[in-house]
Structure 1
Amino acid sequence: MTAESNEPRRARIGLVVALAAALALLCCGGGSAAFFLDGLNGSTTSQAFGADCGKKGLVVDPNHTFDRIGSLDDAQMRNAATIIAVGQKMNVPPRGWVIAIATALQESVLTNLGYLGARNDHDSLGLFQQRPSQGWGSPEQIMDPQYSSRKFYEHLVAIHDWDKMRLTDAAQAVQRSAYPDAYAKHESLAASIVNKLADGAARAAGSLVNLRCVFPGEISASGWTVPVSAHIVSGFRTPDRPSHFGVDLAVAKGTEVHAASAGVVITAECNAHTSNGGPWSCNIDGSTAIGGCGWYVEILHAGNVITRYCHMVRRPEVTVGQTVTAGQLIGYSGSSGNSSGPHLHFEVHLNGDSSNNGAIDPVPFMQQMGVPLGVTAPSGAPSP
């Protein structure tokens, strides 16, 4: 099912990995979609919480000429468009398109690969390197991008909670590759491709007949959600707080805090301390005289993105090494550690760097993921 044993494929995959890394840096440097916070009236139109997140009823035409992304050529872009178009016909939500394209990037670099002789990985063929001997269809069927896309989606949607899983886990559940973690590195590029071909649909929720921007509490096609629905009361590195490396979200003590995206918990502990470094309990309220995050959680996501959630009221509901889904409950807000009152302090770090050097402004990053911070959910909006 994997194409790793093939030198030409490996070279193309290396090129796409580099492209994905460049796009990840580009999307997180502030070049995000323009979101606006008016019109919060409970509307379910695609403009309820922002712009540029897909269009209801949009149909992607693979025969259309698309602007290229990086080194992807016209044939690769058409194959990506075919994957999306088949997903639309099957009423698969945009999250499925992202997973499918990321899978095809890993397996074939969006190239409809035929039999390559001794270099072939078993009898794997086509965009998804499906094997006739494993019941995926005849070689002629698998070499049809529409057929192979449909077969991928049929297997994907049969997986329980596939849309909440880590992309690499959902893809692996379909592909059963010898390299189960390989798909994760293509998530950012796959989302960029969906945004390019489907007018920002990777920032959306819903299906072809109900495509719209996400409400707080929903999961975008990029696989992200807001940790809490709340207004921002303190921003990232403001003039009066230049060492504030996240945003503060105003929520009452005991509010559920949710994982912003699927990933693996890498920290779940108390680090409160006095000004001279002495111990301080995280089970009582802190103050501005206390140091540290209090009870806090860090999660490592695809693309080496880390999110941090500080000042929880009690020990987190997750443990180090635990895999969490997007929107999963990870703890309850509070005021432990360096805190002047109940709230959630939320940070985003790039390149797997959990230090202050890796911190970026969470607001444009989360906008790019389709889940703007600082917006409260309208009446009747779903919970994670």
Structure 2
Amino acid sequence: MSGDATIEPRRGRVALAVALTAGLLLLCCGGGVSVFFLGGLFDEDTDVYGYNCGGGAMVDPRAAKLPRAGQLGDEQMRNAAIIVQVGQQMKVPPRGWVIAVATAMQESRLINVGNLGARNDHDSLGLFQQRPSQGWGTAEQIMDPQYSSRKFYEKLLTIQGWERQALTVAAQRVQRSAYPDAYAQHEPTASLTVNVLTNGGARAAGGAVDLRCVSAGEISASGWTAPVRGKIVSGFRTAGRPTHHGVDIAADKRTQIHAAAAGTVVRMRCDARLNGVSISCDRDGSPQVKGCGWFVDILHAGAVVTRYCHMIQQPAVRLGQSVAAGEVIGLSGSSGNSSGPHVHFEVHLDGDRSSNGAVNPENFMRDAGAPLGEGTS
């Protein structure tokens, strides 16, 4: 198992930023409490207890009081509720709800915007800034949040493989925006908004009315999946290994390793040193070897970075490559600091790939609806 899986401290250049400062209690699919630092996303009126994987909770935008997420106001939450309700009525999988809410956050701040006169972007209107001149409907129709939401979903459902695409890619295929990369920054808050409206729907898989926790190999509505299924054989910063900044997941040699979410490969290299001298990663390592062996770092929405260590050969991805959630990025092995085949997996926040940015992957992945370990969530 990995005894020296850390990489020299280095801060990546991050294009996306999310406030990740204060503590927040979230509940996983199984109901256990974990502390995860996401920062100020709930206000004092939000009841975070009892969240699971959706449980088929149907959204009612007409409710006297809706829960709130982050800094979103009542009007924004009501419009988000309409978007989710339409998705439920159309039996769109919950991943679509997250994409739709994030898109509306970027396009209109979840405000049903009318014609802004000189400040208007051509004839763009409504939650999704759809344009009558481009065939989305009449101005009156587009200003109806239910109509505009339905039109968004209708277009989304025509895109082959949209469920596994990065949110930015799927949203851009619908919207054709001049700023396509901007959608991704809203994915964490959109996932949270869906969670509070549907009792955990962004941590779910399945259909619109039969939400369930994800099974092995599935992608949660928030866009996350376990990189590999196997027993966790060494935990995060345990008493015996306080500098172990990830978890070790048992996996036979040449087990496929999957990208935990859509993102961009920001590092791919061999890191193996014996007595201070670099050695090949195309061989088994040992407890005496230092480093991650063949490893990959992926930057995801919200400035989250994941790391995958000890691959048996050069990874199947290249630097700068965009990967989809669940895409195979390499094969498990025992290169670098390792006493047997496994995958060392790390999660870092704020784009900080040093040990300072590392958080417990078990907590993070459970809250994202893609718990690590064997079997289902």
Q: How does 1:73-112 map to 2 (within 5 A)?
A: 73-112=73-112
For the 8 Å contact 1:83–1:149, the answer to whether it is kept is yes
Deviation at 1:205, TM superposition (A): 0.4
Q: TM-score, normalised by structure 1?
A: 0.86
Question: In the alignment, does 2:214 pair up with 1:220?
Answer: no
1:364 match: secondary structure: helix
Deviation by residue 1:137-180 (Cα, 9 ceiling, x = unmatched): 10000000000000000111111111111111111111111101
Deviation at 1:210, TM superposition (A): 2.4
| AA at the equivalent of 2:117 | G
Deviation by residue 1:320-364 (Cα, 9 ceiling, x = unmatched): 111110000111100000001100000001111111111111111
Deviation at 1:203, TM superposition (A): 0.2
| AA at the equivalent of 2:103 | T
How many residue pairs align between the two structures?
A: 344
Counterpart CA distance in 2 for 1:62 and 1:377 is 32
For the 8 Å contact 1:30–1:364, the answer to whether it is kept is no
1:367 match: secondary structure: helix
1:311 match: secondary structure: strand
Deviation at 1:266, TM superposition (A): 1.1
**2:331 match:** 332
**1:288 match:** 287
**1:299 match:** 298
Deviation at 1:274, TM superposition (A): 1.0
For the 8 Å contact 2:31–2:52, the answer to whether it is kept is no
**Residues 72 and 377 from structure 1, CA distance in 2 versus in 1: closer, same or farther, beyond 3 angstroms?**
closer
**1:245 match:** 245
**2:25 match:** 31
Deviation by residue 1:14-51 (Cα, 9 ceiling, x = unmatched): xxxx9x934x555xx5733145499xxxxxxxxxxx96
Counterpart CA distance in 2 for 1:51 and 1:214 is 15
1:334 match: secondary structure: coil
Counterpart CA distance in 2 for 1:145 and 1:118 is 23
Greater relative contact order (Cα < 8 A, sep 6+): 2
| AA at the equivalent of 2:223 | G
Counterpart CA distance in 2 for 1:148 and 1:225 is 30
**2:69 match:** 69
**Residues 35 and 83 from structure 1, CA distance in 2 versus in 1: closer, same or farther, beyond 3 angstroms?**
closer
**1:121 match:** 121
**Residues 51 and 124 from structure 1, CA distance in 2 versus in 1: closer, same or farther, beyond 3 angstroms?**
closer
Deviation at 1:375, TM superposition (A): 2.7
**Residues 71 and 266 from structure 1, CA distance in 2 versus in 1: closer, same or farther, beyond 3 angstroms?**
closer
For the 8 Å contact 2:69–2:189, the answer to whether it is kept is no
For the 8 Å contact 1:217–1:377, the answer to whether it is kept is no
Counterpart CA distance in 2 for 1:377 and 1:198 is 21
Long gaps (5+) in structure 1: 1-17, 39-49, 379-384
Counterpart CA distance in 2 for 1:68 and 1:252 is 44
Counterpart CA distance in 2 for 1:349 and 1:30 is 17
**2:205 match:** 205
**1:153 match:** 153
Identity over aligned pairs, percent:
61
Deviation by residue 1:283-334 (Cα, 9 ceiling, x = unmatched): 1100010011101111110011100000001111111111110000111100
**1:255 match:** 255
Counterpart CA distance in 2 for 1:72 and 1:311 is 42
Q: Pairwise CA RMSD of aligned residues? A: 1.9
Question: In the alignment, does 2:15 pair up with 1:21?
Answer: no
For the 8 Å contact 2:222–2:368, the answer to whether it is kept is yes
| AA at the equivalent of 2:133 | S
2:272 match: secondary structure: coil
Deviation at 1:114, TM superposition (A): 0.3
Deviation by residue 1:110-161 (Cα, 9 ceiling, x = unmatched): 0000001101111100000001111111000000000000000011111111
Counterpart CA distance in 1 for 2:31 and 2:100 is 32
Q: TM-score, normalised by structure 2?
A: 0.88
**2:195 match:** 195
